[in-house]
Structure 1
Amino acid sequence: MGQHFSGTMRSFLLILALSTCYLTAAPPDMQARVEQLEKNYAKIIDLETKVGRLEAKIEKQDSLLAILEKGHHPLKDNVDINQPRRQIVILRTCHEIHVANPSHLSGMYWIDPDGQGIGDPPIHVHCDMEAPEATGDNWKWVPVKGTTSILHDSESEMDIGNCTEPGCYSRQIKYYASDRQIEALKQLSQNCTQNIKYDCRRSPLSYNETAYAWWIDKYGKTGNFSKSHCDNLDDEKPFRKLSFRNERVPLTRIHFSNPFKRSGQYEVRRLRCHGKAKTEAMPRSCEDLWLMGHTLNGIYSVRGAKQIETVFCQFDTRPNEQGFQKRIGYQDIKTRPIYFYVQKDNKFSERNVPLPFELTIVNIGGAMDLPSGVFTAPVNGTYFFSFAGLAQFPVVPDPVLREIGANLYKNGERIAISQVNKGHLVYPDNLSPITVQSTVSLQTGDEVWIQISIGISGGFLYGERQLMNQGSHTHFNGWLLEEEI
């Protein structure tokens, strides 16, 4: 009905304009007559545009009327009739409707992308449950069921007229959904696209480095059309499909021009979103929780960079809005405890080799190997190590400088050092404490050990034990401070 009315109206207005031209007194020259025809034609185009808007509104009203004639409330048409009447659930996307009930047919449905009962009211959209949708960078056509299409007031084919200045034809596109609902739908979807079908025979988008057509995105930023066969004036291909994706959709305004006064019709397609946005198996943020379907404000545990973090999620706002997520803190949740404490039971003087140990006080996690003296990190994380020993220097006949060092190594690289020395005086019993400690970031499989270096006139680690229960003078311990998960 709408198309028939539009065709009839177009013919009527054209005849009316031509009649007006011929009934009017003849202009003084041919140029004046052409200008008069152009003015009348511009009036026709303006009226045709208004007719297009009315047709879009009539289509929407017809959809609502058809639903009402079936005896259903519009907000209940995509609700399972077997549910109790009070449990009306409006899902967020056509994809969710299809997953909930794959038997649903294509048609008009109510959805609420920003969450039922919060934010903006539900929106009436077209759900494509059967036809294919373009996916992937290569635009291969594969079946994608549950595609959401948002209607707008510029869906009918329109003529850009004969204006010749760059971008002189302009039209704003108004969608039957709020900006908030559209943005929420994009965030919930795997991909969103919008196409323009353009009849561009000898009606270029750009010519001689001059842009004659462009578009405005939802941020108010201008974008130029990419080069295409439309810019080749010898190419007689009638149509060009111009495609837009993701962040810059929906289009809010378009500009065209007809510098050579040839064919110039266009049709702005609906905004189409399909699939479900990918989320981690274990949520990392309030946004992941929202994408999974959580809508209740509250405190949640999410996976942080290194720990399980606690966040407060304000789901009546959107992920891109202030206050959506507030970080509270984190919880230490380790896969297993890791710590050790070992001792030596005899003196040791061998240099430049890992220091072995004989006595195990505790070795939880089994990461410390006593015979080799090497600790192997079982998990990624931050560890703390501490070594203490008693250095003994031999008595020598002449007064000389004597030194001994204890070094902490990671994968063969020295990362910490401690050193003690004795002066020139000679004592019968030369004992000095030596310690080294460090906090180290380790990856799984990294190795850490203590290594002795002997300086001038040497020295060794004291190893005598006066009583068994008094412990050793040389001991090494370490533990996992914080695991990275």
Structure 2
Amino acid sequence: MANLYPIFIGFFILVSAWTSGSTADDRLSLAQLQEQLQQLKTNYEILEEKFLRLELTQLATGDRQTNQAQTKNAIFRTCSEAHSVDPSLASGMYWIDPDGEGVGDDPIYVSCDMATGKTSVLHDSESPIDYDCNYAPFETNGVTYSWWDDRNGNPQYFWAGSNSSVHTCQCGIDGNCVDSIVKCNCDATVPLLLSDSGVITEKTLLPITKLNFGRTQLSSSSGAHTLGRFECSGGTTVTGMPTSCQDLWRSGHRLSGLYFVMEGKLVKNVYCDFAKLPSEAGFQSLIGYAEVKPKPTYFGIPTSCANLKGTGHTSSGLYSVMGSTMVETVFCDFTKNTGDPGANTNLTLRMI
């Protein structure tokens, strides 16, 4: 804006030089000059206002971009995880990264229901299916006309629940189909407009990759389907002590560090690098371990290195034990067996 001021100064200089060197007939009247000057001032004020608006818009845009970048940096693996960290989050569209931030596949844009913690993957396909039919059965007389393909491309013939070995819809599970001898309303051979619905909950088969419908060759036959969103909720539950970094990763741990895991009869101290995938080298590093087994329990002060070893001590060093009449300091070498020479060395350091 400051650059506009020299324009006015230059304008007055030019006007003065022109009026002094022009004839009276060619000179502009004072009124005309004032009118032009006023127009320049008006144009200047308009430009100034536009500049301020543009500057404010740029500042606001920069703030939004910063907020979006900060939000995207805090990428969670599921909507449930995001809700547990910040219960004030509103339902809507969010970026999540199911295999962990910064590793594996890119983040995906999903719909989060923060009231339930459910994650909905748009246009994919727990997957709800609705089918409106008019004499267009899924199967009849043992012949299958409709099925869906699972994540591996294999055909599946159940339309609700998780039992893949039974051809059924939700009405078959609830026992309220229009014809009691069939498990889906559309399988009833009646000339009526019927409908079936169901939610596929067998997660090892999801998502649904293809729908296949047939037997609508009659002039009165019709069928219309709706495939709902692919929804995920909850998290992996690890019962008992985790056995690996992968168990911790599946149950939602995100902070790399030292953890205790149980492998067989050994409690292992491991370092879990959650910046990597479980399949990558260095995801889990062994730090140390201790054997877990029934051991005698001693009350009071131990009387020997054997007592200490029996209660779980494994680090060689100086220990206080109860001698025959007083507390004595001994060096216990736990790298040796109890009966080996030097396993229990009395340093004759006595404490009264």
Give the TM bin, normalised by the shorter chain.
Answer: 0.5 to 0.7
Aligned-residue Cα RMSD (Å) equals 4.2
Q: Which residue of 2 aligns with 1:146?
A: 117
Q: Which residue of 2 aligns with 1:238?
A: 194
Letter in 1 for 2:215: N
Kept after mapping to 2: 8 A contact 1:77/1:109: no
Q: Which residue of 1 aligns with 2:216?
A: 259
Letter in 1 for 2:147: W
1:120 aligns with 2:105: yes
Q: Which residue of 2 aligns with 1:196?
A: 129
Kept after mapping to 2: 8 A contact 1:339/1:363: no
CA distance in 2, matches of 1:305, 1:331: 11
Q: What are the superposed Cα offsets for residues 321-356 of structure 1, whole Å, 9 maximum, x if unpaired?
A: 57686685962255885399xxxxxxxxxxxxxxxx
CA distance in 1, matches of 2:63, 2:139: 52
Letter in 1 for 2:130: K
Q: Which residue of 2 aligns with 1:224?
A: 157
Q: Which residue of 2 aligns with 1:76?
A: 68
CA distance in 2, matches of 1:233, 1:281: 52
SS at match of 1:98: helix
Letter in 1 for 2:133: C
Q: 1:237 to 1:99 in 2, by over 3 A?
A: farther
Kept after mapping to 1: 8 A contact 2:131/2:224: yes
CA distance in 2, matches of 1:212, 1:69: 55
1:89 alignment partner, one of 61, 64, 74: 74
Q: 1:90 to 1:325 in 2, by over 3 A?
A: closer
Kept after mapping to 2: 8 A contact 1:318/1:324: no
Kept after mapping to 2: 8 A contact 1:280/1:288: no
Kept after mapping to 2: 8 A contact 1:195/1:242: yes
1:273 aligns with 2:258: no
Q: What are the superposed Cα offsets for residues 169-197 of structure 1, whole Å, 9 maximum, x if unpaired?
A: xxxxxx4xxxxxxxxxxxxxxxx911111
TM-fit CA distance, 1:267: 0.7
TM-score (norm 1): 0.39
Q: What are the superposed Cα offsets for residues 368-403 of structure 1, whole Å, 9 maximum, x if unpaired?
A: xxxxxxxxxx99xxxxxxxxxxxxxxxxxxxxxxxx
TM-fit CA distance, 1:117: 1.5
Summarize the alignment of residues 16-27 of structure 1 with structure 2, pairs less than 5 Å apart. none
CA distance in 1, matches of 2:210, 2:107: 24
1:213 alignment partner, one of 139, 143, 146: 146
Kept after mapping to 1: 8 A contact 2:103/2:277: no
SS at match of 2:156: strand
Kept after mapping to 2: 8 A contact 1:214/1:255: yes
Q: Which residue of 1 aligns with 2:90?
A: 105
Higher strand share: 1
Letter in 1 for 2:290: D
Sequence identity percentage: 33
SS at match of 2:243: coil
List runs of 5+ in structure 1 lacking aligned partners.
1-67, 80-86, 131-144, 153-174, 176-191, 341-359, 368-377, 380-476, 479-485
CA distance in 1, matches of 2:63, 2:222: 46
SS at match of 2:248: helix
CA distance in 2, matches of 1:270, 1:287: 28
- How many residues get paired? 224
SS at match of 2:250: helix
SS at match of 2:216: coil
Q: Which residue of 1 aligns with 2:207?
A: 250
Q: Which residue of 1 aligns with 2:296?
A: 338
CA distance in 2, matches of 1:362, 1:328: 28
Q: What are the superposed Cα offsets for residues 186-229 of structure 1, whole Å, 9 maximum, x if unpaired?
A: xxxxxx91111111231111111111111111122221232422
Q: 1:232 to 1:72 in 2, by over 3 A?
A: farther
